[in-house]
């Protein structure tokens, strides 16, 4: 997937989680992804941010549908939506707003280490 699509996939997943956790009124509301990231706090420590995310999603008033339950059980997918300094977000922003070289517009395989997390993101965002 190209960087902008990956960035969008990450953003929509964060919006869905924000809505599910009650941090935003609807998935497409402006700032829902930012509300999710802000709720995770300022720590750059991924395990700490992951613990906060799980706490937000396991509150008594939060109802997880099946796609969200599957996603939350994906360690790789959850790592991607809680990272403080997201390479996916940064690369997508650079392509969308920067002046990248031609190779920035050409599809090329993602980092194989992120493949499982990216599949979890895609399954979650594209679930009906």
pLDDT in tens, 18-42: 999 999 987 667 799 999 999 999 9
Total domains, the chain: 1
Q: What is the pLDDT of residue 1?
A: 55
Domain that holds residue 44: 3-126
The contacts found for 112-115 with CB under 8 angstroms, 24 or more apart, are 114/76, 114/80, 114/88
Q: What angle do CA 71, 21, 52 make, to 5 degrees?
A: 75
Q: pLDDT tens digits for 45-66? A: 999 999 999 999 999 999 999 9
Q: Could you give the CA distance from residue 20 to residue 51 in angstroms, rounded to a whole number?
A: 16
Q: pLDDT tens digits for 7-16? A: 999 999 999 9
Token output for 46: 């991924």
């Amino acid at each position: 997937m190209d960087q902008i699509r990956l960035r969008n996939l990450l953003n929509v997943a964060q919006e869905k989680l924000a809505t599910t956790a009650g941090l935003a009124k609807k998935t497409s509301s402006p700032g829902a992804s930012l509300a999710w990231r802000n709720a995770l706090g300022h720590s750059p420590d991924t395990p700490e941010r992951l613990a906060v995310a799980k706490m937000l999603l396991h509150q008594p008033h939060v109802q997880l549908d099946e796609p969200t339950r599957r996603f939350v059980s994906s360690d790789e997918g959850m790592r991607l939506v809680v990272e403080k300094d997201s390479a996916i977000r940064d690369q997508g922003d650079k392509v969308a707003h920067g002046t990248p070289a031609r190779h920035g517009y050409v599809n090329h395989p993602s980092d194989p280490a992120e493949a499982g997390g990216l599949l979890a993101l895609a399954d979650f965002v594209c679930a009906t």
